[in-house]
Structure 1
Amino acid sequence: MSILICLDPGHGGTDRGAIGLELMEKDVCLDICYRVERELQNYQGIQVTLTRSYDVDVTIQERVEWANSHKADLFLSIHTITRLKGFTSYVSVIAGSHDRRLQCWLHNQLAGALRSYGICDQGKRNDTETPNGLLYELRHTKMPAVTIAALNLSNPNEHQLAADYLFRSRYAKSIADGLARIYQCSMRGNERTGHVCT
């Protein structure tokens, strides 16, 4: 059985997202999504589609339509964090237990990996706890949907981490490994010992 992950790099084009000393959220998110996609190629049975592959304007509605039309198994939106420092994750306040379990598994995987960098865990949240009070994409996709947000680009220490390509690679690997564990997918070359995907 094959799993399709829809990665959504936050913002893009004229929507720059959060602005740091040198970095823009839209660029950081796209780079991380590319790295996650590459890491997931190491696992059997996982395919990836991206809502944007370069720096272009994509509306929230277009992102949702892309995920729905491709019949993705999971919609994962990547952002940096605002107002706070550290790391958090979101699901819709109306999300069911299955979506919340996915959020919990992925959140715990990433929180553990980021802790070694001194990135604090701000907890699992509902979209009503965002500045705008809801996340359209989490409510209108026809598959489980989670947003993860890490690193405040206006914080000097976290901006420095976001600028570090080695950190980005390790962060992306943590995301990919977490997704592979959720769907019980084995690494390529381990066909005899692991699941292809459940």
Structure 2
Amino acid sequence: MLKLSRMTGLGDSAPDFALSDTDGQTRTLAEFSDKPALLVAFICNHCPFVLHMIDRLVEFAQEYRPRGLQVVAISSNWPAEFPEDDFAHMQAFARDRQLPFPYLYDESQEVALAYNAICTPDFFLYGPDRTLYYAGQFDASRPKINRPPVPGLPPLRTDLPVTGEDMRRAVDALLAGQPAPQPQHPSAGCSIKWRPGMDPSWA
């Protein structure tokens, strides 16, 4: 099901986390405290919206890492519906895509709830004080998928290349000490696959 990111909580502090990465190491929010910018990206292995942009996200992370951006990816999907989202497939995904950033497994889904994540991909960019600076799309490009139009939503821009334009603008402004660019447009993607009883009222 197509979802748009909620884009709530600008100015709120980043929720803490302690999650296992694909190497089995526990990673925490605090270990990245020396980085002036932190991008938390909720993704998964199977989503066509993620697959459409993941290679450009990898390039973006590599390009901006020397400037102080730390990217952390998190998968919160319950794999009952899509077994390819389980931890073993996450490990293969991280290896095959040569992810240059930690890919963490939010098995309990508590971190996704704390961040108000709703779709994949869903992006949360934090400044040096770890308050939310930008919550929006990577760019306006979307994959070609078979789905009926969503009433009230504009058509997906499947004619655009993946450039990371919106995220680049946001990170550039953050690192330059400037106000966050406006307007911020929501990300679009597949809904997070919640465990029974875990899905929030806004999912």
TM over 0.5: no
Q: TM-score range by the shorter chain?
A: 0.3 to 0.5
Q: With the length of structure 2 as denominator, give the TM-score of the two structures.
A: 0.33
